[in-house]
Chains A and B, each alone.
Chain A
Amino acid sequence: MSDFISCISPIDGKELVRKPIASEAAIDAALANARAAQKAWRATPLSERKAAMLRFMDAMLAMNQEIVPELAQQMGRPVRYGGEFSPFEARVRHMVEIAEEALAPIVPKGTQAGFKRMIKRERSASCWSSPRGITLTSPRSIPSFRR
């Protein structure tokens, strides 16, 4: 099995970039970092997490000029069609907008006096962090813009 991943540009069939695969140590470190970061994120109020996602969105949109030609070079996407940032922005905004409601506890009907019952989205989070713990996501046909 190869120890690097190569990106061949479809423009000319030549290798554009080569990335070494991660070492076992790097993988272990990533898992440890993820668990630690998740603890901190879990303690962060939803309003702050929403704001952070919108800042991330703005930072991505600001990189438009860099990313669009990279998409052309890496996968042949014509620059005249941009980088699919409109859909990206629409999805981030929507998921942030519905976060409060979608992640609210579910309170069943028929709760009696003296009882408090609910289903909580434990470790509720934005669409970019995994409250289930650690999420492994593969890149899509247009890397990182297809969420």
Chain B
Amino acid sequence: MAMDKAGIPKGLFQNLVLNHDQTTRLLGSGKIDHCNFTGSVAGGRAIEKAAAGTFTTLGLELGGKDPAYVRHDAKLDHAIENLVDGAMYNSGQCCCGIERVYVHESLYDRFVEGFVDLTKKYVLGNPLDEKTTLGPMANKRFADWVRKQNADAVAAGATAHIDAKLFLRQRPATAYLAPQVLTGVNHTMSVMMEESFGPTVGIMKVSGDEEAIRLMNDSPYGLTAPVWTQDMEAAERIGAEIETGTVFMNRCDYLDPGLAWTGVKDTGRGYGLSSLGYEALTQGKSYHLRSV
């Protein structure tokens, strides 16, 4: 509709509702030159398989388990405020939402306390209500996934800091899920390794940069990684060691159109935004002309 209003030629941008079979056939036909896909890793693999043999180029954004590192010299209140928002915004349903946090031992207790206190202030409710700051998840099955991750973590020894009953609108077997903050977590737990894409986050204590880097990299994903510190040199040095598409310092859950939006490992392939985004969508053609 907006494209029509802008006077853009019909046919340039078309919306088709297709099921998986149709998409698979279309990609396998070779009639598509390029495919941009945002979805699950399994979806990305299916797309790649469907396009196999056609040389269709792919842009894939498949998943993340974005880690935050709160370093010993972080501005604590600033880190807490931004990381709670980073973890819970849109009920945790952001590609670059914060999914796990590693905090230096000197700040750990105060960080967890502040993080839990701020998280409790969310108002879970009907998203059409202006007072609601945390809506239901997009589908009941997504909420059930997060419930399972939380329950499994607790069964394996994690501590759940938030009593779900504080959130009156939460209901089991619905999309309305209360936020959760977990400690006593480790990387054998799904909640620290598999994408939650929901309002839950695990927080671990670390002794320094080396341990933080190792844990941040212990993941099949690499989309963004924020480092909370007042030392820009340290942020850049640490950033160089992190397997990720974007390194942040003192911010998170943000897309800057001037910078390349990209990921590594199972997070995907290709670039969006920035001049690199244009490279991803154009075909270079060389001209070598000689006067005689």
Contact = CB atoms under 8 A, between A and B. Distances in A.
Q: Do A and B bind each other?
A: yes
* 6 nearest A-B pairs in the assembled complex, by CB-CB distance: A37-B11, A33-B11, A133-B33, A10-B175, A94-B257, A59-B2
A130 B33 contact: yes
B6 A52 contact: yes
Contact of B284 (A69, A72, A120, A139): A120
Contacts, number: 238
26 contacts: A8-B140, A10-B137, A11-B136, A26-B16, A34-B14, A37-B9, A37-B10, A78-B132, A81-B90, A87-B255, A94-B257, A95-B277, A95-B278, A98-B275, A106-B284, A114-B291, A115-B289, A119-B285, A127-B278, A129-B13, A130-B33, A132-B33, A134-B32, A136-B35, A137-B35, A141-B38
A120 B285 contact: yes
A93 B59 CA distance: 22
Contact of A99 (B17, B90, B278): B278
Interface string B245-287: 0000000000101100000000000001111011101111111
A8 to B, nearest CB: 6
Interface in B83-108: 89-91, 93-95
Contacts of B27: 136
Given A56-B2, A56-B6, A119-B285, A8 B18 contact: no
Given A10-B137, A11-B136, A22 B278 contact: no
Interface band, chain A: 35 or more
B127 interface: yes
B165 interface: no
Contacts of B14: 30, 33-34
A97 to B, nearest CB: 9
Contacts of B233: none
A50 to B, nearest CB: 12
Contacts of A140: 38, 61, 95
What is the predominant secondary structure among interface residues of chain B facing chain A? loop
Interface of B: 1-3, 5-14, 16-23, 26-27, 31-39, 57, 61, 89-91, 93-95, 126-140, 174-176, 255, 257-258, 272-275, 277-279, 281-291
Contacts of B33: 130, 132-135
A138 interface: yes
Given A60-B2, A80-B130, A136-B26, A30 B16 contact: yes
A77 B135 contact: yes
Nearest to B277: A127
B127 A72 contact: yes
B17 A20 contact: yes
A118 B282 contact: no
A138 B38 contact: yes
Contacts of A8: 139-140
Contacts of A72: 127-128, 135
A72 B8 CA distance: 29
A138 to B, nearest CB: 5
B140 A41 contact: no
Given A33-B11, A138-B36, A21 B22 contact: yes
A21 B138 contact: no
Contacts of B18: 21-22, 27
Nearest to B133: A78
A110 B104 CA distance: 53
B278 A135 contact: no
